[in-house]
Amino acid sequence: MTGNRAMVIVLLLASAGAMADETPLLIPVPKDRIHDARPLGRKYALLIGVPDFQDQGWPKLKFTVRDVETMADVLEGFEVVRLTDRERTTRASILEALQHLKSQAVRADDTVLVYLSTHGTLGRPRPSEVRRYAIAQDTRKDLVEKTAVSIDELLSAMEELPSKRKVLILAFCHSGTGKSALNDDLSRALAGRKSGFFLKPVEEVSRAMVVLSAASWGEAAIEDDALGGDVYTHYFAEGIKKGDLDGDGAVTATEAHEYARERVYNHTMGLQRPSLEMVVEGTDPIVLSGQRTKAGRPILFSYGESSRGVALFLNGRLKGTFPAAFVLDSDSSAAVELKSASGTTLYSGNVHLASGESIEISRLIPPPVKVEVLLDIGVRQFFDGKLSNQVVPASPMIGLEVAVRDLLYRGARFGINARFSWGDGRITTTSHSVPYSSQLTTVGAQYGHALTLKPWLILSGSVSGSVAVLSRDIRVDFSNVYGFRSHQQSLGGLISAPLMLAATPFWNTIIGLWAEPGMSLMRIDGGLRTSLFVASGGFVGAFF
C-alpha cells in the first residue's frame, strides 16, 4: 500500500477588521512551508524480556534483556515501552501493559509491534485441549494454565486493537518433550533452547496481523553466546537495518523476517527455521525502518506450511524453495513453474508483475474442483397482478441444484437446477369466484462467481436462465348437476440473478440462504406477459 499524494491549499480567513482594510483572503505561502496536514499514524512498540523466573524449574535464559535492547535500538520512529525487570514481567503486568496499549493505539493507521522473549511451553486448560503459552516471571511449572500467558490471550489483545498494522514477535518456541531424559552432553547443548512439549495447537490470526515465531513447530529457538543473544532476534534486528528486499526504501516486518529466516537456518545448521503467519492483502504495511520512496520490485511469496518444499523455477532455472519470498524483475513477464516436493507440477505459465506487486503463490495454483449438490426450499412471488392473482399465486417451491466450482478459474461456478412450485388460488369476477391450482416447473443453468469471505463462508452471485412450464387446472361444480374442467399449459422462460450465502460448518456439509430476483416471460390467455418476481429460501447439501 503506497502513500497517497495530497495537495494542500492554505486558506487564511482574515478578521472582520482586516477585511475592512481589504487584506487579501489568499496569501501566497512558500513551497518549503507547505506540509501534508493529514495526521499520521503513530508507532508503538511493547518489548518484553523476562529476565529470570521465580520457579527454578524453568531453565535460566541469558539474553532476554539484551534482546529487548537490540530491538529497541533498531526500530525507527516507535514509541518504545520496555518490560525487563522482575516486577514488570509477571503475568499480571504483561496483560496490564497490553491493555494499556489499547488506550494508545486507537487509529487504524497506527502501527503496533509486540515482542516477547522468554520460554514457551504448552498446557491443557481442558483435558481435550492443548494450548500454547509464554512463560512469565511468576509462572509456576505445576500451574502453567493459570500462571502463564496464553498465546490466545496475546492474539486476542492484538485483535482488539483498531490498528490495521500489527505484528506479534514470539522469540521462543514450543518444541521437545522435556529435558529430564536427555544425557548430560545433550542437556548442555539444549541449555540455551527455549522449549516446550509435543503437539501443535491452532490459534486463529485475525486480519491485518503478522505473527512471527523464532522457530517452526517442533524446533527449538536458540540463544547463542557468540552472538550474545537470541539467534532470531539478532538477525531480525539486523534485517530491520539491511533487509529492504524489494528496494522501495523501507523495511517491513515480513522483509526483516525473510532476511532473518535464511540466516537463522544457516547459523543453526538447519536446526531452527523461523515461521510466519500473516493475514495481509497486498503490500505489507508494517514499516519498521525507512520510508517508501518508490514502488518496490515485485515479489512471489508463501509462508504457509502447505507450501513447504514447493520449488520455484523462473525461466527454467531453480530460484529456490518455499516458504520464502523471492524478488522478480519489475514490469516484465517471467515463465513461472511451481513444483511440489515430489516433483508434481502445481503451476506452469507466464506471470507479469508490475512494480510494487506481491503475489502469494496460492493465487497461482488452481484450487481443486468441487462439485456441490444442493436441496433448496423457498417461496416465489410474481408481481404482475394478473399472473399472481389468476395463474401463479405466491407459492412454496422445492428444487435440486448441481454446481461445479473452481473449474476454469478460481471462484468460477457453473450449475444446473430444477425447481417445482405449486399453489392454489381463486379467479374472482363480478359474479363468480372460481378456484384453481397451478404448478410451475423450471429447468435452467447458471454461471457466476463464488467469493470466499472466510474459509467456511462463501458468497456467490450468478446469472441464471430457465425454461418454464406453467400448468393451471380449474374445476368447478355447479349444484352437483354439472361441472367445468379446464387444464391449461404454457411454455415460458425466466432470467434471474441468484445470490447465495453458504457456510460449511463441518465435514463436507453446506447450508445457507439464497435470494433470486428476476423476470419472467409467459404466454397467458393467448398473449405474452412479462412480470418481475422474487424468490428466496434456504438450502442444505454437500460438496465433493
379-398 tens-digit pLDDT? 999 998 888 888 888 999 99
List the chain domain ranges: 45-288, 297-365, 370-543
Segments in 345-406 forming alpha helices (H): 385-386
- The residue type of 182 is L
What is the predicted pLDDT for the residue at 33?
39
225 has a pLDDT exceeding 70: yes
Q: Which three cell numbers stand for residue 450?
A: 463464488
How far does Cα 168 stand from its chain's mean position? 17
Between residues 283 and 405, the one the model is more confident about: 405
Segments in 75-189 forming alpha helices (H): 91-104, 144-147, 151-159, 184-189
- Widest distance between CA atoms in the chain: 110
Per-residue pLDDT, averaged over 112-118, amounts to 94
CATH class of the region 370-543: mainly beta
| Residue-level length of the chain | 544
Q: Which three cell numbers stand for residue 433?
A: 369466484
Q: Which three cell numbers stand for residue 371?
A: 462439485
Q: Which three cell numbers stand for residue 258?
A: 525473510
What is the predicted pLDDT for the residue at 535?
96
- The residue type of 372 is E
- Facing residues of 414 across strands? 404, 447
**Neighbouring residues of 143: CB distance < 8 A, sequence distance ≥ 6:** none
158 has a pLDDT exceeding 80: yes
- Which CA distances in Å does 298 have to 332, 387, 489? 10, 58, 62
Torsions phi, psi for 116 (to 5 deg): -135, 120
Q: What sign results for the dihedral spanned by CA atoms 284, 286, 289, 290? A: positive
Q: What is the DSSP string of 404-448?
A: EESSSSTTEEEEEEEEEEEEEEEEE-SS-EEEEEEEEEEEEEEEE
CATH 3.40.50.1460 fits 45-288, yes or no: yes
460 has a pLDDT exceeding 90: yes
- Facing residues of 427 across strands? 434
483 has a pLDDT exceeding 70: no
Contact yes or no for 422/436 (Cβ under 8 A): no
What is the predicted pLDDT for the residue at 526?
75
The span from the first CA to the last CA of the chain, in angstroms, equals: 38
In whole angstroms, give the CA distance from residue 110 to residue 246.
Answer: 23
Among all chains, which residue has been given the C-alpha cell 456441490? 372
Beta strands in 108-245, from DSSP E residues, in sequence order: 111-117, 120-123, 131-134, 149-150, 165-171, 193-194, 209-213, 221-224, 229-230
Contact yes or no for 298/327 (Cβ under 8 A): yes
In whole angstroms, give the CA distance from residue 521 to residue 466.
Answer: 11
Contact yes or no for 390/427 (Cβ under 8 A): yes
Torsions phi, psi for 31 (to 5 deg): -60, -35
What is the predicted pLDDT for the residue at 17?
36
Query: pLDDT tens for residues 238-291?
Result: 999 999 988 889 998 889 999 998 899 889 888 888 888 766 555 567 889 988
Other Cβ atoms less than 10 A from the Cβ of 32: the count is 6
Helix axes 151-159, 91-104, angle to 10 degrees: 10
Q: Which CATH code fits 297-365?
A: 2.60.40
- Which CA distances in Å does 540 have to 34, 96, 205, 398, 513? 61, 46, 29, 12, 9
Q: Which three cell numbers stand for residue 162?
A: 483498531
- Which CA distances in Å does 106 have to 29, 43, 111, 165? 33, 11, 10, 12
Helix axes 231-242, 64-74, angle to 10 degrees: 10
Helix axes 231-242, 253-267, angle to 10 degrees: 130
Query: pLDDT tens for residues 7-20?
Result: 332 222 223 333 33
Per-residue pLDDT, averaged over 451-472, amounts to 92
Among 96-105, 203-212, 226-235, 303-312, the range scoring the smallest mean pLDDT is 203-212
Burial (CB count within 10 angstroms: exposed 0-12, middle 13-18, buried 19+), residue 151: buried
Eight-class DSSP state of 390: I
In whole angstroms, give the CA distance from residue 89 to residue 49.
Answer: 7
- For Cα atoms 387, 390, 393, give the angle at the middle one, nearest 5 degrees: 70
In whole angstroms, give the CA distance from residue 361 to residue 356.
Answer: 16
Contact yes or no for 206/276 (Cβ under 8 A): no
Between residues 188 and 281, the one the model is more confident about: 281
